[in-house]
Chains A and B, each alone.
Chain A
Amino acid sequence: MRIPESTGSYARDNYLSQGRPGLRGWLLTHDHKRVAILYALAITGFFALGAVAAALVRLTLVQPDSQWISPETYDKSFTFHGIVMVWFFLIPSIPNTLGNFLLPLMIGARDVAFPRLNLFSWYLFMLGGLFTIATLLLGGVDTGWTFYTPFSTMFSNTHVIMAAAGVFVSGFASIVSGMNFIVTVHTMRAPGMRWFRLPLFVWAIYATSVVMMLATPVLAMTLLLIALERLAGVGIFDPALGGDPVLFQHFFWFYSHPAVYIMVLPAMGVTSELICCGVRRRVFGYRFMAWSMLGIAFIGFLVWGHHMFVAGQSMYASIAFSLLSFAVAVPSAIKVFNWLATMYKGVIDFHAPMLYALGFVGLFTLGGLTGLFLAAVALDVSLTDTYFVVAHFHYIMVGGAVMAYLGGIHFWWPKITGRLYSEPLARFAAILMFVGFNVTFFPQYVLGYLGMPRRYHDYPPPFQALNVVSSAGAAILAVAYLLPLWYLGRSLWRGASAGPNPWHATGLEWTTPSPPPHDNFPEPPVVERGPYDYRDP
């Protein structure tokens, strides 16, 4: 059996052709599949903007004392890169595109529970994006994506309130989507779709939604307090009056550490689906996989203090947060070992989505293990605020989350568009991405270990060689990101028809035509078995 293969003709009556035609049909749609596409287009645009900012940073760092852009512009570049990539790409990436498209299909529903709210979420997201772009046009913001006080409240002369407003508004998009997905999973499952028959991707989106719902309000309120403090000239974060700037860090990381799991849990869900299909086996330890995702979501709320080991937090708090951070590695390791056990002695098909999934497992493991270095208080004291930290979270977020996002896009592309893309090109892009990523970010581990601090415009000349390697890697990465735009775009016109199930995968979404009809299923589905009904060959 060769996969992917065409398994039928292009379904003429689908969500793209049905419903109201034209731009109004898209901008006023209540169809979760169309909202998913609106989100996908928007985040692709934001990814490009964030990538340009990253390119500015990497170009500056080619020379130890580059005069190419001023230090102020450099600060604004990495801030813009961080804000856009975190809140306008990574947070919505998998949940709001693949999650939106697939969640109702995977549980056998006609739509999400609140379709209007779903569209509203997209408009909130776009409004937040508008504020962020306005910030850029007005001259940018230089606080870093973390908005640390008292710099953000007392000293920065840039557009902090505007930038915070952008994140604030897009935060509500996140909250609304999270609530919608939770209610959808609870109330919209098809007959026979019991909780432990849910695909792991659904479990992942569910766990993510819980985090979105419980963490994001804290961020919203904290950003409101930043704005209030700037406007009023006083506030509880103001050290001049005896206020506590570290309190801001507590609030901020109470959201922003769990936010890492908003980015990586959906990636784990995608990877689980991709690996099961790539090796054509049931997942090893299904219940452990489901529970470990909820475990990560839960413990993830208890570790935020590991961002404040050197911020004046009490030693005992640091020890507790350190131990809890180690604890989060347990459910994460369960997942990695179960993926390996799923593939153990299996016949692996190295198609493009599988390559992305394998890339995810490798890079996530490296990012996760270096996270343990940073969770150890004694090591963190010397590694904090160095490029080691930068490399660590890029391994999780870019190596992990972005690889999985693209893997998922490739895997479900035939379902979403009804077309097959060029497999050889896709495999080439996946491998190029893996290589480019490691060339970019592995040197940063070394740089950080050698002591190069993050967020500086200049650095001592001995660090130049590794920085040049890193920037060269970024160029390779850029090519690898552009390639899918081309061959996926081309497949829309030239691609062979996919038919309902080009991967011969299991799961309800593959039982309906590609692209799916407006109501998702020609017949309301009834579920009789678990999610990974692959027969060993």
Chain B
Amino acid sequence: MSTPQPLAHAPQFDDPTQQRTAAVLGMWAFLVTEVLFFGVLFAGYAVCRWRFPDAFAAGSRHTDLPMGAIETGVLLASSCAAALALRDVQLGGRRAATRLLVLTAALGATFLVMHGFEYTDEYREGLVPGLRYTQDGPLAGKMEFFFYLYFAITGLHSVHVLVGVVLMLVMALRNARGRFRATYFTPVELAALYWHLVDIVWIFVFPLVYLVGRAG
């Protein structure tokens, strides 16, 4: 562990405050692009669901609701852990923060494993368009759109979770080495922002994929 150095900043900035402002604004800008990126898939979902409501309800009934609900809980808990980790870094609680960052990553990994099980089940049931789609019946054709979008949306989301897990582990490692302190925590803040976005996307995915059509 090193003694705390005076706050450094990159040469293009005048002071650490300017650097922090720029970094946080840049992260928010990035999150906006992510929203638009996912937005295309949600728009595609909206159009197809509006055109084929019955097929989408039928597709929804093929998904694993308990699994999806637990995954939602796991992700929400991980977001909470990320927020607490940031708070601990800001308050100077390094060891607690490291533990919480590792917990965030572990919960993210749990989510990925659970989703992996879901994908395996769906493959076995023949619900994967392009690879193994063995449904028949009057709604099977249109239901393929549901599963196409399901795999596109959750697949892309899982890639984001994976990136987040790696990011959180890197943050945990750097925090354990004493890189962050009460006056310098920008990278942790940015990683937490990213993690919350990934969480929020799932908050939209869960009802659209798992809940829609179950009531009717």
Contact = CB atoms under 8 A, between A and B. Distances in A.
Interface of A: 109-115, 175, 179-180, 182-184, 186-188, 213-214, 216-218, 220-222, 225, 228, 231-236, 241-244, 247, 251
Contacts of A111: 11-12
Contacts of B178: none
B40 to A, nearest CB: 4
A214 B131 CA distance: 33
B73 interface: no
B40 A179 contact: no
B193 interface: no
A214 B47 contact: no
A186 B130 CA distance: 46
A125 to B, nearest CB: 17
Contacts of B133: 234
B41 A221 contact: yes
A221 B29 contact: no
A242 B148 contact: no
Contacts of A109: 12
Classify the interface of chain B: helix, strand, loop or mixed: helix
Contacts of B152: 225, 228
B26 A221 contact: no
A236 B148 contact: yes
Interface residues of B, number: 37
Contact of A236 (B34, B141, B145): B145
A170 B30 CA distance: 16
Interface string B133-169: 1000000011011001100100000000000000000
B44 A233 contact: no
A251 B130 contact: no
Given A187-B25, A234-B144, 10 more contacts: A179-B26, A180-B26, A183-B22, A214-B33, A214-B36, A221-B39, A222-B40, A225-B44, A225-B152, A242-B51
A218 B144 contact: no
A393 B203 CA distance: 42
Given A110-B12, A187-B18, A213 B144 contact: no
A231 B21 contact: no
Contact of B32 (A110, A113, A114, A214): A214
B15 to A, nearest CB: 11
Nearest to A116: B10
B117 interface: no
B141 A114 contact: no
A222 B43 CA distance: 11
Contacts of B37: 217-218, 220-221
B130 A233 contact: yes
Nearest to A235: B148
Given A179-B33, A236-B48, A244-B51, A218 B145 contact: no
A217 B36 CA distance: 6
B130 A183 contact: no
Nearest to A220: B37
A251 B40 contact: yes
A212 B1 CA distance: 43
Contacts of A235: 148
Interface string B1-41: 00000000011110000100110011001101110111111
Contact of A183 (B29, B38, B47): B29
The 4 closest A-B pairs by CB, nearest first: A232-B130, A111-B12, A221-B40, A217-B36
A113 B144 contact: no
Contacts of A231: 130
B187 interface: no
Nearest to A209: B29
Given A225-B40, A232-B129, A251-B43, A179 B29 contact: yes
